[in-house]
Amino acid sequence: MRLSRKLAWTIPSLLTVFAIAGAWFFSGNDKPALQAAEHVSGMFSPKTTPNWNLQFGSEAFATASSVLPQNASAEEMVENVYNLLRVGDRFTARAQTERLLTRYPNFQLAHLLHADLMNEELATPIDPQSIEGKETSSGLNRYDELLLESSRRLNRPPASTLRGLVPRNIVSLSLQNPYFIAVDASKSRLYWFENKSNDPLKPQLKLLLETYVSVGQKGIGKSREGDGRTPLGVYFVNKNLKGQPLPDLYGAGALTLNYPNALDLMRGQTGSGIWLHGTPSEQYARAPLATDGCVVLSNPEMDRLLRLKNVEKTPVLITDKLEWVKSDQPSKDREGFKKALDQWVRDRQTSNLDGLKNIYSAQFQRDGKGLAIWWPEIASAAQSGAIKNSVQMQSIIEWKDTEDYMVVNLTNPNNTRVKRNQNLRMYWTKSGGNWQILYEGPA
């Protein structure tokens, strides 16, 4: 990567190839960012170039602009500074950095940029590593945290390359879900989509916002309370806490999530209070790995999301690495699941209790109790007349870790008996080649 960067400096056309390939293949690997050095001052001899922290992201954000739109985000402004440096316009780069700082005075990464730009002009540059930064919780020093943040921001896949793509995990998404949220922890990005699917099985999404986020200081894969990790899985927004008095730590506000979900509980995971929230006033952005497990957005972005209506129940997919597929090409390997789901619907409608029971897994669990406890309720629902109503599927989201799962939300066909508008959530799992129900309960 280092070599390719050097080449890239002399042969700009190569940069396109390397950067686009690099953005995708190396973005999980943060090492290049940490050793990113000496690219900018091509005007001067590389020998005299000080430790240069700045590094270039993908060429895909090609054009440097001396005038940015008034509503340019902090990240776009940072990006533009890099682009200006790439074309050698240090003067404008510095002016824009100063503007960026006027607008976002607590954006630490912008301060680092500013410091680097000034340091580069010094006859005897300062060694930034000599300045001891604030103590961090991630184990990285603050300086390396900022470099990581910069690398994550600049190596993100450009929004334009995501057009027509949707997260692979979406099997079905009806218009009852106005939004879909996906977090790619390895890239420190959150994608907020508007649901435009005419056919729920061919999800079509419009990217409303994609933004830098911070996750747990110890990374991902939460299992215990206080482990400093962000959980991976399929979650749903519970509440929008906009306007509620929250400590400064939460910034613009918060959306709560349903961690631990049914699967987490079955696995004995503990912890609570995993939210999407804003940043404290002293920081425009937090380090990539910084939270106690929450997913943290900068306040302007968080505020924008909190203003949206009907955000509750929005699916939130939190992955280590998001996979993208073309929206009009649903995976073929889901036929088996669809058959099983159809069978379940038929067995319920025809009150075929023997057949129905076969679909429920021996590992079925709800509130810590097994199928023996819950079967009578399930069976009686299947026998009631109301079940003849057609089942309305809201969403089906796939989750794979050690096993294959499907998280299904549907409008409860029993809604004349049970509380109105109460929805049903099911967790299906594939065992021995068959899809079976692991959990069923109110959503």
Partner 1 sequence: MFFVLIKFVKISLKSSPWLVKPALALGVGSLITCLSAFSANNNLDAIKQSIQSGQLDQALRSVQQERQTAPKDVQVQFLEGVILAQQGQHDRAIEAFKKMTEAYPDLPEPYNNLGVLYASKGRLEEARAAFDKAILTHASYAAAHKNLSDVQAQLTRQSYARALQVDPKVKAAAAQLTLLGAITTERSDISKIPGPAVRPATSNNPVLSELAETPSKGGASSPKENPAPSIKVPVKEPAITASAKPEEPNPEIEPIKSAVQSWAQSWSRKDMKKYFAAYASNFAPPDNMTRAKWESERELRIVSKKKIQVAVSHFEIDIQGNKAKVNFSQVYESDNFKGNSRKSLELTKQGGHWLITRETVN
Give residues in contact with partner 1 (CB under 8 A): 43-45, 48, 88, 108-109, 111-112, 114-115, 118-119, 121-124, 126, 128, 131-134, 142-143, 146, 282-283
Taking the least distance from each CB to partner 1, the nearer of 73 and 283 is: 283
Q: Which of 128, 149, 154 is nearest to 138 (CA)?
A: 149
Taking the least distance from each CB to partner 1, the nearer of 88 and 441 is: 88
Minimum separation from the CB atom of position 261 to partner 1 (A): 35
Taking the least distance from each CB to partner 1, the nearer of 134 and 332 is: 134
Minimum separation from the CB atom of position 278 to partner 1 (A): 18
Minimum separation from the CB atom of position 112 to partner 1 (A): 4
Axis crossing angle, helix 371-383 with helix 335-349, rounded to the nearest 10: 70
Paired tokens of 199: 């056919």
Taking the least distance from each CB to partner 1, the nearer of 119 and 204 is: 119
Q: What is the rounded CA–CA span in Å between residue 68 and residue 209?
A: 19
Minimum separation from the CB atom of position 149 to partner 1 (A): 11
Taking the least distance from each CB to partner 1, the nearer of 114 and 357 is: 114
Minimum separation from the CB atom of position 281 to partner 1 (A): 13
User: What letter represents residue 30's amino acid?
Assistant: D
Q: What is the rounded CA–CA span in Å between residue 113 and residue 225?
A: 37
Taking the least distance from each CB to partner 1, the nearer of 132 and 333 is: 132
Minimum separation from the CB atom of position 133 to partner 1 (A): 3
Minimum separation from the CB atom of position 185 to partner 1 (A): 24
Minimum separation from the CB atom of position 103 to partner 1 (A): 15
How many C-beta atoms surround the C-beta of residue 299 within 10 A?
22
Taking the least distance from each CB to partner 1, the nearer of 53 and 361 is: 53
Minimum separation from the CB atom of position 48 to partner 1 (A): 7
How many C-beta atoms surround the C-beta of residue 246 within 10 A?
16
Minimum separation from the CB atom of position 12 to partner 1 (A): 18
Taking the least distance from each CB to partner 1, the nearer of 120 and 301 is: 120
Phi, psi of 34 (to 5 degrees): -70, -30
Minimum separation from the CB atom of position 209 to partner 1 (A): 26
According to DSSP, the residues that pair with 291 across neighbouring strands are 216
Taking the least distance from each CB to partner 1, the nearer of 121 and 312 is: 121
Taking the least distance from each CB to partner 1, the nearer of 249 and 325 is: 249
Taking the least distance from each CB to partner 1, the nearer of 136 and 349 is: 136
Phi, psi of 255 (to 5 degrees): -115, 125
Phi, psi of 62 (to 5 degrees): -60, -55
Paired tokens of 428: 């299906």
Minimum separation from the CB atom of position 88 to partner 1 (A): 8
Taking the least distance from each CB to partner 1, the nearer of 111 and 338 is: 111
What are the contacts of 366-375 at 24+ separation with CB within 8 A?
Answer: 366/262, 366/439, 366/440, 366/441, 367/441, 368/265, 374/440
Residues 147-177, buried b or exposed e (16+ Cβ, 10 A)? bbbbbbbbbbbbeeebeebbbbbbbbbbebb
